A and B are shown apart, each in its own frame.
Chain A
Amino acid sequence: MDNHALGKGPDADILEARRLKGDGSPWRERFFQLSLWASLAVGVVFLGSLLTYVVVEAWPRLDLRIVTNFPDIIDPSQAGAQSAIMGTIWVIAFTALYCLPVGFLTAIYLEEYAEPDRWWNRAVEINIQNLAAVPSIVYGILGLGIISRGLGFGQTVLTASLTLSLLVLPTVIIAAREAIRAVPQSIREASLALGATQWQTIWRQVLPAAVPGMATGSILALSRAIGEAAPLLLLGGLTFITFNPTGPDSPFTVLPIQIFNWISQSRAEFVSLAAAAIVILLVILLAMNSLAIWLRNRYSHRW
């Protein structure tokens, strides 16, 4: 009755009721659920065909040559990726050295010390969230303009690892914060009630409980750095390198860059070479991710 007064006819009532009740067609429900399921299946099928394709392409070259030999532009049958594999290890080791301490300390500050309603703490947080989504090539520009040419560190392992540590720092911070936040407040309160200072509480209670989570997150962040190629293209990573790095001041190449280099060659032999290097890269990533998952399951606390 009231609806008439509001200018809605009885037809509108019926339509509205029908809309809320739905057509009740089980077929529509079925179809909807099926299409949801299909959208996940696309990802699974894609992943499966990508991995299969890479392994099949790589098969003829998947032997020790890829590990023991150095890049060879003239004779692809003698080419390998040893300098790239060693370069990746050097660069990632230094990246971990720089970004993990800074990331952990920042996470401790934001979780344990910072008052969240202060504008500067909010600014730091928003800044980190934004940095996590800044395109990686922009970090390459930062590395090129400031670290490589501005500070004069040149096209070296040091420049590459400093750039990559800034790139993954937001990821490390966010993961470490989650691990610290997962430690229950009651543990802190108990420690403080026994007379421990704030830092004693953090060092002896919070951090030991949070370390497995922090380690897991850091390994995942570093595995992102291992696969990263774009910023290093700006830092001289594409130079033709046929020797292993000997220190932080060595020129370098890394696996993703070597892969990019081989993809860009027109000869067909280089395609299987690129695929073989991709297999090596994926195996390294798989090993790191398995380690992370193992750590998570082995040391995860249930409070």
Chain B
Amino acid sequence: MTSTGIGRRAASGTTGFLKRSQPRYVEKAVRVLLIAASLVSVLTTVGIVIALIPPAAEFFGKVSFGDFITGTDWSPLFKPPHFGVLPLVTGTLMVTLIALLVAVPLGLGAAVYLSEYARPGVRTFFKPILEVLAGIPTVVYGFFALQAITPLLQDIWPGGEGPQVFNALSAGFVMGIMIIPTIASLSEDAMNAVPNDLRDGGFALGSSRMQVATRVVFPAALSGIAAAIMLGVSRAIGETMIVAVAAGGRPNLSFNPLEGMQTMTAFIAAAGIGDLPTGSIGYQTIFAVGALLFVMTLVMNLVSIRLVRKYRQVYE
């Protein structure tokens, strides 16, 4: 191989001395291997779409899309079956709404505290606790909601009928706690990305700490905060085990958080447990509801990713 190297060097004059002398097969092979590995994640998305579309299409061959999306009765395994998805959608939105009412104020409060107030020692105490909250399996959250929070709510409920055994309130509350770390850590990143010049400007004008936090840092980090909330919404919509354990398994078109209701994810899980035969309409409902769930979370995720890019472009 050296001889070809010398030959080539002679042919291309003095500059050729610095050129590589032989083709580097290892380098090329590595590159191909790396690209192949990166394609796995692309193929995952393709796989999800391929898994969802054919059974969902067969489902919509039997049930009209209009009936599916506007129908108020979801009883796919009854006779006669009804395929109106609205009860599942409202169940999902109710639990998500309760979760956000808990997670947004607490998550943002935690983020402002960690980014603008906390001394390093306080940070090193609280940060791992948020990480532990994020790391607890969701089935454990579900267990706690069903066994501890619901009985507690029933005990302290002032007058009238308290929450049912399965209810949206305790599932949503526990889910809200679960989402706090997501919202807190992403918003804290966004607030940390705000340059100190802006804070100093605020202080130089005589603003207090609270004013700098709420009127300078918060607006400047708004796109990142919005991204964090969107991601929180996406996680709440997609969360399965908490609602499967604590919110009940009965589709229920109701806005009363004290009642049990089934979410889209809980339905998919329940139908999946049933081990329905391939090609049956029951089996296909998994994919129809799954497709709706995937599209809803996809929109949230893409908006969130865009917002994060926006604040990174502004400040980094």
Q: Chain A residues in contact with chain B, CB under 8 A?
A: 20-22, 24, 28-29, 32-33, 35-40, 42-44, 46-47, 49-50, 53-54, 57, 101-102, 105-106, 108-110, 113-114, 123-124, 126-131, 133-142, 144-146, 149-150, 166, 169-170, 173, 197-199, 220, 223-224, 226-230, 233-236, 238, 256, 259-260, 263-264, 271, 274-275, 278, 281-282, 285, 289
Contact = CB atoms under 8 A, between A and B. Distances in A.
Give the interface size bracket for B toward A: 35 or more
A228 B297 CA distance: 19
Contacts of A46: 133, 177
A285 B269 contact: no
B176 to A, nearest CB: 10
Contacts of A129: 301, 305
A274 B143 contact: yes
B140 A278 contact: yes
B34 A109 contact: yes
22 contacts: A24-B208, A32-B213, A42-B106, A46-B177, A105-B38, A108-B34, A113-B34, A126-B305, A127-B41, A130-B298, A134-B294, A135-B234, A139-B48, A140-B272, A142-B47, A149-B278, A230-B138, A233-B272, A234-B273, A256-B139, A259-B143, A260-B245
Interface stretch (B9-17, B79-87, B235-243): B235-243
Nearest to A129: B305
A36 B129 contact: no
A56 to B, nearest CB: 10
Contact of B42 (A124, A134, A137, A150): A124
B219 interface: no
Given A44-B129, A113-B31, A227 B106 contact: no
Contact of B138 (A133, A139, A227): A227
B157 interface: no
B55 to A, nearest CB: 7
Interface in B144-193: 144, 146-148, 177, 180-181
Contacts of A54: 140, 143-144
A49 to B, nearest CB: 8
A230 B301 contact: no
A143 to B, nearest CB: 8
B206 A21 contact: yes
Contacts of B121: none
Main secondary structure of the interface of A (DSSP, over half): helix
A40 B112 CA distance: 10
Contacts of B144: 50, 53-54
Nearest to B308: A129
Contacts of A275: 143
Contacts of A146: 47, 50-51
A263 B278 contact: no
A20 B205 contact: yes
